Structure 1
Amino acid sequence: MSLESGKRSQPGSELGGKIGDDEQGYDLDLFCIPKHYADDLEKVYIPHGLIMDRTERLAREIMKGMGGHHIVALCVLKGGYKFFADLLDYIKALNRNSDKSIPMTVDFIRLKSYCNDQSTGDIKVIGGDDLSTLTGKDIIDTGKTMKTLLSLLKQYNPKMVKVARAFEYFEVVGFEVPDKFVVGYALDYNEYFRDLNHICVISETGKQKYKA
């Protein structure tokens, strides 16, 4: 469901689970929230169980759409790691338990674009191995910050690139959400909240407490 933290309000996809602008979320006391974040969140916006159910469906869509080609699953760190791991677990389960399977390898790249709740407009590539291994491969990208990353990937002439996102909207989509700054499920605010299982809306108290 990959990958930048923060506002996610781009056009939706027919595959996505659309959450309306008037969605109020769920009270925090209905869920297990780490005590150190008790005053830093407004609502639980997407519970972890719903994320996992949608991720399983996305894995099926990917298996159906990619054919039998060797693919590379490229994780955009850090915000994409939870979605990446869960999506691959479902794909691996389908590989084991169905007649159709996909040969797959994984790779990682790290990008940074946010400070506090605003995009800096400067996308920094901070890590990553030799991406020449992607040449001629089909790529499932489970990250965000797509404009810069797709431009980078094109230099290596991949055969095909499919973008799978949890909360932003290209070919394979988890959820369409309104324009709110959300954290959790590895999405951060200045590196905090990655340890939160649910997708939550950060409070003004939280923004000030963890402001860079």
Structure 2
Amino acid sequence: MIAQDIEKVLLSEEEIENRCVELAHQIEADYKESGDTPIIVGLLKGSVPFMAELIKRFEFPCEIDFMSVSSYDGTESIGDVRILKDMDLSCKNRSILVVEDIIDTGRTLVEVKKMFKNKGCLDVRCVTLLDKPSRRVCEIEADYVGFEVPNEFVVGYGLDYNQKYRNLPFIGVLKPEIYQ
């Protein structure tokens, strides 16, 4: 059982769901005010549970797409952001809402936002389930943040270690002996 590898639960499934409702209302209000029909872009694979929970709460028109972007090798950000799968939809003259599982160093989000601007997007906003500002090496902030978390190795609700633990319905701290 993978749950036995968890040192402690940081955020319960209920806490995450409640925060997703709040975030969805805030995002919806902002897009209704602007009149935009955004493309909601999930960054694979970690954003999938969060994105699914969030978009089912939206009552405004939107489209969805995905990108696969990587800057990690194991537990460490390698500083090299790679686009493994680009969007299928054109984002020129469109508003984009990037859905991210966690903002850690900030490198991925900086590069993704730069790429969208270069493609002619009107507006690029970001919603992240987790924010870890203590690890930031780039000047960047999300427009919408679910939770700020301490500098611990977190997994669950889409976040992984070596492709495992994504399916946990909560955010937990992985036992150090698992990844050291």
Judge same fold: TM > 0.5, yes or no.
yes
Is 1:86 the counterpart of 2:37 in the alignment?
no
Question: What is the Cα deviation at residue 130 of structure 1?
Answer: 4.0
Please, which of 99, 120, 124 is the counterpart of residue 142 of structure 1? Answer: 99
User: What residue is the counterpart of 2:150 in the other structure?
Assistant: 178
Aligned-partner SS, 1:90: coil
The superposition leaves residues 128-186 of structure 1 with CA deviations (integer Å, 9 ceiling, x where unpaired) of: 2345x111111111025201111111111111111101102511110011111100001
The 4+ residue runs of structure 1 with deviation greater than 3 A are: none
Instruction: Indicate whether 1:157 and 2:94 are aligned.
Output: no
The AA in structure 1 aligned to 2:30 is G
Other-structure match for 1:74? 41
Aligned residues: 163
- Checking the alignment, whether the CA contact within 8 Å between 1:110 and 1:126 is kept in structure 2 is yes
Give TM-score scaled by structure 2 length: 0.85
Q: TM-score, normalised by structure 1?
A: 0.73
Task: Name the counterpart of 1:63.
Answer: 28
Report the equivalent of 1:27.
none
Q: For 1:148 and 1:129, locate their aligned partners in 2 and report how far apart those are by CA, in whole Å.
A: 15
Q: Cα gap change, 1:45/1:204 in structure 2, threshold over 3 Å: closer, same or farther?
A: same
1:120 Cα offset (Å): 1.1
CA contact (8 A) 1:137 1:158 kept: yes
Contact kept? 2:31, 2:37, Cα under 8 Å: no
**2:37, 2:2 → 1: CA distance?**
43
Q: Deviations over 1:83-122 (max 9, x none)?
A: 111100111xxx2xxxxxx221111100111122111111
Q: Aligned pair in 2 of structure 1 residues 103, 36: CA closer, same or farther (>3 Å)?
A: closer
Kindly indicate whether structure 1 or structure 2 has the higher relative contact order, using CA contacts under 8 Å at least 6 residues apart. 1
Q: Distance in 2 between matches of 1:69 and 1:36?
A: 42
When you count strand as a share of all residues, which structure comes out higher? 2
Query: Contact 1:55–1:87 at 8 Å: present in 2 too?
Result: yes
Gaps of 5+ in 2: 132-140
Q: 2:75 aligns with which of 113, 117, 120?
A: 117
Q: Any stretches of 5+ residues in structure 1 without a counterpart?
A: 1-34, 96-101
Contact 1:185 1:199 in 2 (8 A): yes
Give the equivalent residue in structure 1 for 2:137: none
SS at match of 1:123: strand
- Cα distance in 2 between the residues matched to 1:129 and 1:87: 19
Equivalent in the alignment of 1:41: 6
Quote the sequence identity (%). 31
Separation of aligned partners in 2, 1:37 and 1:107: 31
* Alignment-derived partner of residue 166 in structure 1: 129
Distance 1:48 1:201 in 2: 14
Structure 1 residue 106 corresponds to structure 2 residue 64 = yes
After superposition, the CA RMSD in angstroms is: 1.4
